[in-house]
Chain A
Amino acid sequence: MSMTKKAAAASALLALSLSIAHADDGVPSNTVRVGLYYVHYHTSADDISGPYVPTGLNLSVNDVETLYLAYVRRLSEHFDLELAAGYPPVTKTEGRGPATLGSVPYNGQVISTARWFAPTLLLNYKFFDESHAWRPYFGIGVNYANFYDRRSTAAGNAASGGPTSISLPVSVGPAATVGMSYHLQGRWSLYASYSATVVKSKLTADTAGVMRTSDINFGPRALVVAAGYAF
């Protein structure tokens, strides 16, 4: 999907959510959630290509845990609009392939790190009515991922052959979630959800002007456990 199409999809999602919203029915309209993200990456990447790169060099991304923050706007009894954004975690990329490049360790070495600013906008449909304590829901939406603080580690520099800058363009892709809420009491609820997001980017490593690249599909899967306060 092109960036233009992705932006159009996000706009359509917002328009749809606004059309769903209706008059105040006395139920608090806003909820903030705080919890934990457990992110597991199903990384698939092309072998790294470029000058002086042996065949079979690949990558994987380590799982992370981070703070989950979300603002949820109640649109109707059954629809929510959720803006979820974890505290940008440091993700670590490991080398996959031969144990060594020459005499430089590679396989299993953390070769780069980056922080992810990756908010997701979701339109959620909640089952049952407000009287139910347990309410399953599902949602679809759009994820935007910006990778910053991109660093090649000492091990990465050794494998690449010197100080290395890393480029990872912004990713915009679809997201989906399934979850369950539990109304504790008053304004407090608990939430658990599992989300899948398409996050693709092209890694370009520049070492002394020599470019090596790999197209990466990070394939993040996120488990969230959170508490929410409605107001």
Chain B
Amino acid sequence: MSRIRGPFYSAIAVVLLTACGSNSTTSEVATSTARGTLIQNPPLRIASLDAAALTAQLNASASGQQLLELAQAPTCGVDFYYIQYWTVGGANETATATGALMVPTGSAAQCSGPRPIVLYAHGTTTLKTYNIADITNPSNTEGALVAAMFAAQGYIVVAPNYAGYDTSSLSYHPFLNGAQQSKDMIDALTAARTALPQTLSAATTDSGKLFITGYSEGGYVAMATHKALQAANQTVTASAPMSGPYALAAFFDAVFYGDVNIGSTEFTPLITTSYQKAYGNIYSATTDIYEPTYATGIDTLLPSTTPIDTLFEDGKLPETALFSSTTPVTGNATLDAALAVPKNPIFALGFGASNLITNDYRLSYVLDAVAHPDGAAPVPMPGVPLAASPQNTLRIAAKLNDMRTWVPHVPVLLCGGDMDPTVYFTLNAGTMQAFWAAAGLPAEVVTILDVNAAPTAQDPFAAVKVGFQETEAQIVSSQGQVAAVESYHTTVAPFCTAAARGFFSQF
């Protein structure tokens, strides 16, 4: 053995001496948990599509072809980044959240250099795994919409998934919590601005212009974010909230009176969980609000990894019956009539035998609305004020999150469709317009766009209106009136988004 040792170890030494070096590293992970901190810097680029590849991807589906027709052919390519950031939950608890940063790329002038940012808020989804950044997922239609409409035309897009979705550390979603959701949006924007110079698309930079938009829940969130940024003296160039429940307290009252919206059995658990987490006083037990059939586990039901149709099939939620078709009888004929099953067949869909909310809770809510009426529903009052002193805790929460608490300083477009059975356009956008008018806001600051209205002379939105109405007519003729009603809220979205882009292009 001793004779081996010398040359043996010499040979080992030769090869060992060469066995040193360093490995490549990935992104840095932030140690701070402060709001707006980008967790992985640089962030992951999920996909990079040049204009031709993006066009090809959209052309691969019928919905993509329709979108291309509306959005026009991409001028820019788009890099899709997945951002992870620190924000807070509804009770101000520290939480992580994720979202998208879409960066225009390419040689055309509007695809690099200083570009405006569109801060986008997505609509309600019950699917917990939702990730708007994942453009490789064919079901990510809203991601494709904002990519085609904004990023492919030279806007940097920042779109949070919201706390409670995707890989967020928050166990629930602070649905329609204006304070939290505006913070989430602002934190996503801060993180995206940190990320942008470090990305593979660093030739595109932030011009400083900021546009805010979003659809449905996102329309509400867009307005709440505009309000919060304005209050913080941060730059907002313009905003275009779309089809959102801005006059939240009036909207809730309308639903409890009987104007039940499509989707209410999904929205209601999201709302009560959100406000219970934030304020702690919505219920002592879920049976205070919900029928025993559904009460157990409803506070953790949504968002879910299980598709909503499966939840319906499994009896976790009723599909449409928010209230009992055997309505409360109080002896007050006027009130009993108000609580009766509506004649409007769409509202009547919200009533059934296997209902979600108890008659007792509905009645207590409506009695509070009668005693402390909202100024916009059921009967509009001058100035459409909020209820003075509601006592029902859900009505108090709705008042706290209602948007009738601010007046914008920069131009706002409120777009929607007046026949929307999911988020009532006139009750929400019309109430905000009336509120702002009463507050003395010059009319030219706010543009109300009803895509279902007839185009007027010199109408800048004539093409959007005509396009929407032709599409609706096609749906009615090919799929029937019921399908057209059920899809109305979704059908409005791309047309309002096109209108928002046109609106932003003025600035």
Contact = CB atoms under 8 A, between A and B. Distances in A.
B60 interface: no
Given A30-B7, A162-B44, A162-B200, A87 B18 contact: yes
Contacts of B42: 162-163, 208
Interface stretch (B23-31, B210-218, B235-243, B438-446): B23-31
A50 to B, nearest CB: 11
A83 B52 CA distance: 55
Contacts of A149: 21-23
A157 to B, nearest CB: 7
A100 B49 CA distance: 10
A29 B29 CA distance: 55
B41 to A, nearest CB: 8
A88 interface: yes
Contact of B24 (A54, A69, A100, A163): A163
A202 interface: no
Contacts of B16: 117
Contacts of B20: 148
A207 B47 CA distance: 13
A210 interface: yes
B interface bracket (residues with beta carbon within 8 Å of A) = 35 or more
Contact of B15 (A88, A158, A165): A88
B171 to A, nearest CB: 21
Interface stretch (A35-43, A101-109, A183-191): A101-109
Contact of A104 (B3, B22, B43, B48): B48
A115 B136 contact: no
A206 B44 CA distance: 10
A138 interface: no
Contact of B47 (A18, A30, A102): A102
Interface in B1-37: 1, 3-4, 7-8, 10-12, 14-16, 18-27, 29
A103 B48 CA distance: 6
B368 interface: no
A161 interface: yes
B44 A208 contact: yes
B200 to A, nearest CB: 7
Given A54-B136, A163-B25, A158 B200 contact: yes
Contacts of B27: 162-163, 207-209
Nearest to B25: A165
B299 interface: no
A209 B26 CA distance: 8
Contacts of B350: none
A100 B44 CA distance: 18
Nearest to A167: B23
B44 A157 contact: no
A70 interface: yes
B82 interface: yes
B329 interface: no
A201 interface: no
A210 B131 CA distance: 14
Nearest to A86: B15
B50 interface: yes
Contacts of A164: 24, 26
A151 interface: yes
A161 B26 CA distance: 10
Given A32-B11, A151-B23, 4 more contacts: A30-B7, A71-B8, A101-B47, A146-B19
**Nearest 7 A-B pairs (CB), nearest first?**
A149-B21, A161-B45, A208-B44, A71-B11, A208-B40, A103-B50, A117-B19
Interface of A: 18, 29-30, 32, 52, 54, 69-71, 73, 83, 85, 87-88, 100-104, 115, 117, 119, 146, 148-152, 157-158, 161-166, 206-210
30 contacts: A30-B7, A32-B7, A54-B136, A69-B11, A71-B7, A71-B10, A83-B12, A85-B12, A85-B15, A87-B15, A87-B18, A102-B47, A102-B50, A103-B49, A103-B53, A117-B15, A146-B19, A149-B22, A150-B24, A151-B23, A161-B81, A162-B200, A163-B24, A163-B26, A163-B27, A165-B23, A208-B26, A209-B29, A209-B39, A210-B44
